[in-house]
A and B are shown apart, each in its own frame.
Chain A
Amino acid sequence: MEILTWTYILVGISFALYIGIAIWSRAGSTQEFYVAGGGVSPLANGMATAADWMSAASFISMAGIISFSGYDGSVYLMGWTGGYVLLALLLAPYLRKFGKFTVPDFVGDRYYSNTAKVVAVICALFISFTYVAGQMRGVGIVFSRYLEVPIEWGVVIGMCIVLFYAVLGGMKGITYTQVAQYCVLIFAYMVPAIFISMQLTGNPVPQLGLGGSVADGTPLLDKLDGVLGELGFAAYTSGRKSITDMFMITLALMVGTAGLPHVIVRFFTVPRVKDARLSAGYALVFIAILYTTAPAIAAFGMYNAIESTSEKKISELPAWISTWQKTGLIAVDDKNDDGKVQYLADPTANELSIDRDIMVLASPEIAQLPNWVVGLVAAGGMAAALSTAAGLLLVISTSVSRDLFKTFRPDISDKKELRIARIAAAGAVILAGYFGVNPPGFVAEVVAFAFGLAAASFFPVIIMGIFSSRINKEGAISGMLTGLIFTLGYIVYFKFISPELNSAEHWWFGVSPEGIGSIGMILNFIVCVTVSKFTPAPPQAVQDMVQEIRIPRGAGKAQDH
């Protein structure tokens, strides 16, 4: 069968599955809508968290980014997994014991202040919106590349699917759909990786294949270092970023991960504190499967791309190159008219340009796998984008219906609150869809900065709220604002006001805008502690609450006020 037919079949089946699950698990109360009734098993929640967490960028782009940055790409690998250790050890169990529905809920109660809560809601909305627009765009791109429909239609179809199951099912629907989406996406990611690893190194486990040897007996990574060196590129296993910058970016991504509202809220859905701990462990196992495979795909992809093109006759290039040339993701330009391809670091002589997304998208064709695998990768990319989008939309709708509406109108009925949550979810989907079709040019960059902002705003106040009973509302509010304004200011200055100054010699302490969230976080901590020291301690009831959340026993289901 044709690739296109297979793609339609596989994507169609996966969509039917998601909708079926949504109908079966639709939400009947706000409790089910916000936290799936608090009855999700740790294993299912771990899988759902993994799918929620791994976005279109993780699935489609990450391996490609590592391909072209080698060792420097490690910041994403460590940053986006190490955060789960912080989440499991410092946040998840205590927030689960606290037992409300959202991060602003916690901030509002712990800091006995609606102002603090509103600041938290604004941070949550900002982070989630920038993120969700990127996902919608991802859905559109997968549609347009594989199903040959315009990006706009791809976004609209994706919107309808997400709208259907997020609005109908709430957290309950999303959780069980995400479990299915995880299975689809990990299968789609691993199949090509395993085959490529076998072809190149004879080892079916990509994680071992990356440390294996190619046909002539040299270790793959050494071979890659050598080949890249000959072409004038830096060695694959050595870094170009400064150690300070690597350190700060990794830290910002780790702490940002632990501070992302759509990830934190997943730990409210399990029945007990010990399930929250265990569930974070499962989530990281499921994430690690993809994250340890990605660097293997990255190195294999780079090796294959060079081996099959460099100094080869243009007329004899493999079929996948001409297929992807049509999409514009690969371009060959015979500058010196010798009829061969020169792939070189020197931009004036280089004749081959490869888009980073190729490394995953074209992997089945590079490995000469059957057509159905191509369809599978399309379904996987879609699963990754949809699952993340749904999780984010839920945070947005909850923030509006619960953290904003209910805070100021506490007497509304459960039924009415549920209706508002659904309307907010629908509104958010439409807005996200609009940005998916008309992306502000900086979406990709803003998504990366969402982490810096989460690191600089949420993380310190949540940690301090749990581990200190002395931190008060004045400290928390001033800390959050300092972290947020400092980080946002630094990013806006270097990315939008004076982008020409965005280089290492102008950065403060050599920290790039990607890593500045770490400094913002430290400032937040300092301001938070200092201000609290000079202002009155929190009321006794709040101090008792802090003692209470430190002890696992007595965690009921997540409840309403």
Chain B
Amino acid sequence: MPAQNEKMKAYWRKNLQTLFILLIVWFIVSFGCGILFVNELNEFRLGGYKLGFWFAQQGSIFAFVILIFVYVVRMNRLDREFDVDEE
């Protein structure tokens, strides 16, 4: 089934694109904002928090939760689009 194969390849490519984008965000909020650029971000404030410190101890964790749910919604849509979803 070559047509089927092509379709699966397209599905996999879209899946990888989704992963790539989400993992870049994952890297930026934790390693970027929480570690590599923490001192620069600490110049800014979020209420009583220094911004970099907030990312390291609160913000990155909230972002992780959001990332997983974005992934869930996006993959469910992709599964339906390519007709590979489960009953």
Contact = CB atoms under 8 A, between A and B. Distances in A.
Contact of A277 (B35, B36, B75): B75
A250 B61 contact: no
Contact of B60 (A71, A82, A251): A82
Interface stretch (A50-58, A218-226, A359-367, A450-458): A218-226
Contact of A211 (B15, B49, B75): B49
Contacts of B30: 78, 82, 250, 254
Contact of A552 (B36, B53, B71, B79): B79
Contact of B84 (A85, A220, A551): A551
Given A274-B85, A288-B61, A553-B86, A210 B49 contact: yes
A218 to B, nearest CB: 9
Interface string A323-367: 000000000000000000000000000000000000000000000
A213 interface: yes
A95 interface: no
A222 B34 CA distance: 18
A506 interface: no
A551 B72 contact: no
Given A71-B53, A90-B19, A211 B86 contact: no
A547 B8 contact: yes
A555 B57 contact: no
Interface residues of B, number: 41
B72 A82 contact: no
Instruction: Name the residue in B8, B49, B62, B79 with the highest tally of chain A Cβ atoms < 10 Å from its Cβ.
Output: B49
A243 B31 CA distance: 10
Contacts of A274: 72, 75-76, 79, 85-86
- For the residues of A in contact with B, the DSSP-based class is helix
B22 A553 contact: no
Interface in A95-138: none
Interface stretch (A279-287, A305-313, A478-486): A279-287
Contact of B58 (A82, A295, A547): A295
A540 to B, nearest CB: 14
Interface string B15-43: 10001001100100011001110100010
Nearest to B68: A281
B73 to A, nearest CB: 10
A78 B56 contact: yes
Interface of B: 8, 11-12, 15, 19, 22-23, 26, 30-31, 34-36, 38, 42, 46-50, 53-54, 56-58, 60-62, 64-65, 67-69, 71-72, 75-76, 79, 84-86
Given A85-B64, A89-B19, 9 more contacts: A71-B53, A81-B61, A82-B64, A85-B26, A212-B47, A212-B48, A219-B47, A221-B53, A281-B68
